[in-house]
Amino acid sequence: MIGAGAIGLGTAWHLAQQGHDVSVYDPRLNQSVDREGSANDLSGTSASLGVLMGHVFRRSSGRGWRLRRRSMELWPQWIETLQAHQPDLRLHSGLLQIAEDEQAAKRMEALAAQRVDLGLQMVTNADLATVWPTARHGGLHSRHDGRVDPLLLQLALRQALAEQSVELNATAVIRLDATTTTGMCIAPMETAPFTSLWFSARP
Ligand SMILES: Cc1cc2nc3c(=O)[nH]c(=O)nc-3n(C[C@H](O)[C@H](O)[C@H](O)COP(=O)(O)OP(=O)(O)OC[C@H]3O[C@@H](n4cnc5c(N)ncnc54)[C@H](O)[C@@H]3O)c2cc1C
């Protein structure tokens, strides 16, 4: 697995749980998971807010919609399992979107009407008064969308992988090569200024 953000670590965890031998490569594995020390050099995951917007996705068909539905089913299960490593990891449920104009409010109303069973509901300006007093067009509340702390998630995944004896290599992959007939292989690049690897994959 090249890259140890939420996607790389999550995929590595999933594959390791299925019994595959997995190795993860990422120079950031040398760094602690925080925002303080590296504010100008964050991965996408560390920079992110961790907002999960599965049910408020506008489209109601296609692969993107199906993937969102599936991941919103899986998040509570993943989080419950990963709490063994980071007890404070939570799915903070409830997502509020404020309508910026009348047109946006109409789109939200239509979506809420279609997805009552998925926990979508319109809220009025009066409902929003304490949290967003300048709201003029109401908003949309999604009961099952929410937020996961992306730093705690990465910490929990790193710990889960260490427990599964997944090899965590704090090194960058600098080249993908597709010329060999021997399948995927890894070799150190001695001339590089840092420990690095290249992969060769069967064409
Ligand atoms: C400011 C901001 C806010 C965001 N907010 C949200 C949000 O609220 N909700 C949401 O769902 N998404 C949000 N995102 C998007 C979110 O960051 C991504 O969807 C997700 O975190 C990407 O995860 P990732 O693992 O693919 O990538 P990353 O977390 O970026 O991880 C990629 C990793 O690959 C490593 N890497 C790169 N090159 C190599 C190499 N050659 N060899 C080895 N390793 C390498 C990097 O060091 C890095 O750690 C936000 C993004 C940003 C920037």
State how many domains the chain has: 1
pLDDT of 150 over the 60 cut? yes
Looking at every residue in the chain, the average pLDDT score rounds to 88
Task: Please give the Cα distance from 187 to 24 (Å, whole number).
Answer: 15
Residue 174 lies in a domain: no
Ligand 1 atom closest to residue 51's alpha carbon, by position in its atom list: 8
Residue with the smallest CA separation from ligand 1 atom 38 is 3
Which one, of 142, 157, 74, 146, lies nearest residue 111 by Cα?
142
- Is 169's C-beta closer than 6 angstroms to any atom of ligand 1? no
Ligand 1, atom 31, lies closest to the CA of 5
Cβ of 45 closer than 6 Å to ligand 1, yes or no, is yes
Classified as helix, coil or strand, 182 is: coil
Assigned domain for 142 exists: yes
Residue 117 domain flag: yes
> Considering the domain boundaries, does residue 62 fall inside one?
yes
In a domain, 132, yes or no: yes
List % helix, strand, coil for the chain (3-state, nearest 5): 35, 20, 40
* 1-10, 35-44, 49-58, 118-127: the lowest-pLDDT one: 35-44
Residue 87, domain extent? 53-147
Is the full-model pTM beyond 0.75?
Answer: yes
How far is residue 143 from each of residues 22, 34, 81, 96, 166, measured CA to CA in Å?
Answer: 36, 29, 22, 9, 36
Residue 193 within a domain: no
Q: Is residue 1 part of a domain?
A: no
Structural domain contains residue 194: no
